[in-house]
Chain A
């Protein structure tokens, strides 16, 4: 097995990742990922379909290949009986429950065929640590070079134990993802209207219409958007639109072992997210931006960015 670039040198710029995983066998990858990944399906722009993918190109075996992507985009599956006027999806993040296991990140990368390097994410987890006597937090995420070095690969999602020998006053994890804002800056600045706010909440991208100017990447206050160089279009979390329209939870919510991520329909007062919002003091990130996010946080901190 070839070494991934990240295993050789983490912070080098201009790293070509082309050869990456070129020789990773399918078995290796499936072994690492677990064989539970099975949900195939896609919406325009969701770019989602994994599972038993024949790795003709020899690239990431579990991810969508070009033909599948094209099929998903040009011929999106019909979802009978789904009316987007009937739903108002929302997400809750209970930071007091998050243990930083990063299964959400892994699940998202698999489910949505997100690029496997450390520069493209639809969701990630931040670690905030107040050392003893300090008034400010040290922050890192899985993509911190030290964490990648410790995990040995960009495709293994682990936090290192750098704080093992120091006294910590307070520490917690904060999961981040697209906030599917009520007033999304990314939609405002999109010159073609390729990205749009759906009636049921999520902000989606029509990847057949995106010109790849990356104005949206600049405009997102939360850094939630990235650019897919191979497709030449923008990428973002869509709360697994292909799943939620079928009555499933987003992949990250599904795999969260502690129930830190809560998802549901705000039109339903008894849905998990409605209860979460009603029963807790919730906050949103960067409210001063005026974007009115739809991801509600419990237990954030002044240091959370």
Chain B
């Protein structure tokens, strides 16, 4: 018997002897985090596709690609975490339906298929165009991506649009379901006081929307800077509304959750207090400081009706802040829940591994992967609608060219 790795987690008070071996590590922190980003990004894409909110048009397809690329990596942390990753599909082949976890393969698989389909419908016209304009191997790649459907008549495009819209509509409850489900995995465990809450799925879902919007704001601003294109003021205002709504509701519900724990003051409530003041104090400070920052900034942006460059700067900072805050919240839930012993008489302090299968290094690599994939995906399927200035520039360029030829 080879020992693969061992943890001995230091503790105070009394904890069950088996608890010193930490069951769910930082990989399980980023799993709901990545899933949350997917849900949030998808919601923005849907606001355009389903509700036809025009201000989200510039980022709609980009949001869809973001959701897809992050969804590719949502199950990865789980695979790294499993003791027997090669048996992962046992849960899909022979699901044990009383387990919340058994549904994961189906929920995630369904959602991934839905995202792939919707992406295809949303990009089909572009794919067809590129399969005709590109040369060499890329021409073949795009040819394959058309799946043999190269009809771009107005009627056909209307059908595309209709399908994308329907898929997007199905996608909204699916995205909510996917993330609400992740919250259920934690909230349904009666064993752990810190998890066992009816509010958990709601908290997970709403913070997911917040972090996803934050991600989109950050990516949209960076992408626009890199591409040297204008940042649409309407879009930023739209994202601001969503972010403000999300952070307000999340903070209220998270506050209620804490209030309930301390107001009910069940056995062991002192230990919960010590958990917050002790092992997860830094996480709690980050989570709440970031939340308050986002709430303050978005409120100010709304009150002072800020537009233009100042809006971009402050909303960018808010986006970053909510991403960090939600990551801290995931840590506080997943790690904090286990740091509070089942005995309610002891507290563990988790120290993550730096290298190894379940380490910060792996977490870092997995966290970077979706961004790299997204970058590649935007190369393959440029999601940006051509802005007016770009079109003007292009036409000027072609005019100049014609002149020079003449």
Contact = CB atoms under 8 A, between A and B. Distances in A.
Contacts of B3: 16-18, 20, 115, 229-230
Nearest to B25: A214
A120 B21 contact: yes
B191 A121 contact: no
Contacts of A59: 1
Contacts of A10: 8
A12 B87 CA distance: 32
Given A119-B6, A193-B96, A221-B342, A226 B21 contact: yes
Contacts of A233: 83-84
B1 A192 contact: no
A194 interface: yes
Interface in A34-86: 57, 59-60, 63-66, 69
A11 B94 contact: no
Nearest to B14: A139
A188 B18 contact: no
Nearest to B10: A11
Interface in B312-344: 338, 342-344
A168 interface: no
A210 interface: yes
A299 interface: no
Contacts of B2: 18, 230
Interface residues of B, number: 51
Interface string A212-240: 11110111111111111111111000000
Nearest to A187: B98
Contact of B101 (A65, A209, A213, A220): A213
B18 A211 contact: no
A271 to B, nearest CB: 29
B102 to A, nearest CB: 4
Nearest to A121: B17
Nearest to A117: B6
Contact of B4 (A120, A193, A229, A234): A229
B7 to A, nearest CB: 6
Contact of B94 (A117, A118, A192, A212): A192
B84 A212 contact: yes
A305 B343 contact: yes
Interface string B88-101: 10110011101111
Contact of B1 (A57, A176, A220, A222): A57
Chain A contact residues, majority secondary structure: loop
Given A120-B18, A214-B24, A218-B23, A194 B90 contact: yes
A221 B96 contact: no
B160 to A, nearest CB: 37
Interface residues of A, number: 70
Contact of B8 (A13, A124, A142, A188): A13
Nearest to B337: A218
Chain B contact residues, majority secondary structure: loop
Given A140-B14, A189-B100, A211-B88, A229 B5 contact: yes
Interface string B375-392: 000000000000000000
A215 B16 contact: no
A132 B353 CA distance: 42
B351 interface: yes
Contacts of A13: 7-10, 351
Contact of B17 (A124, A190, A212): A124
A179 interface: no
A141 B23 contact: no
Contacts of A218: 23-24, 189, 191-192, 338
Interface in B53-94: 78, 81-85, 87-88, 90-91, 94
Interface in B1-41: 1-10, 14-21, 23-24
Given A15-B6, A57-B1, A191-B91, A211 B82 contact: yes
Most buried by A among B78, B87, B338: B87
A141 B192 CA distance: 21
B107 to A, nearest CB: 12
A221 B189 CA distance: 9
A249 interface: no
B163 interface: no
Contact of B83 (A60, A124, A210): A210
A263 B78 CA distance: 40
Nearest to A63: B1
Interface in B214-251: none
Given A118-B8, A119-B6, A305-B345, A232 B21 contact: no
A66 B101 contact: no
B190 interface: yes
B288 interface: no
A228 B3 CA distance: 9
B9 A211 contact: no
Contacts of A57: 1
Contacts of B95: 191-192
A14 interface: yes
A191 B83 contact: no
Contacts of A248: none
Interface string A95-126: 00000000000000000010101111100101
Nearest to B105: A191
B293 interface: no
A180 interface: no
A185 interface: yes
Query: Lowest 4 A-B CB distances belong to which pairs?
Result: A212-B83, A223-B16, A232-B83, A193-B96
Given A14-B6, A229-B6, 15 more contacts: A11-B10, A14-B7, A18-B6, A117-B8, A124-B17, A141-B17, A191-B102, A191-B104, A192-B94, A192-B102, A212-B83, A213-B78, A214-B83, A226-B21, A232-B83
Interface of A: 10-18, 20, 57, 59-60, 63-66, 69, 113, 115, 117-121, 124, 126, 139-143, 176, 185, 187-194, 209-215, 217-234, 289-290, 305
8 contacts: A10-B8, A118-B17, A191-B99, A193-B94, A211-B83, A218-B192, A228-B83, A229-B5
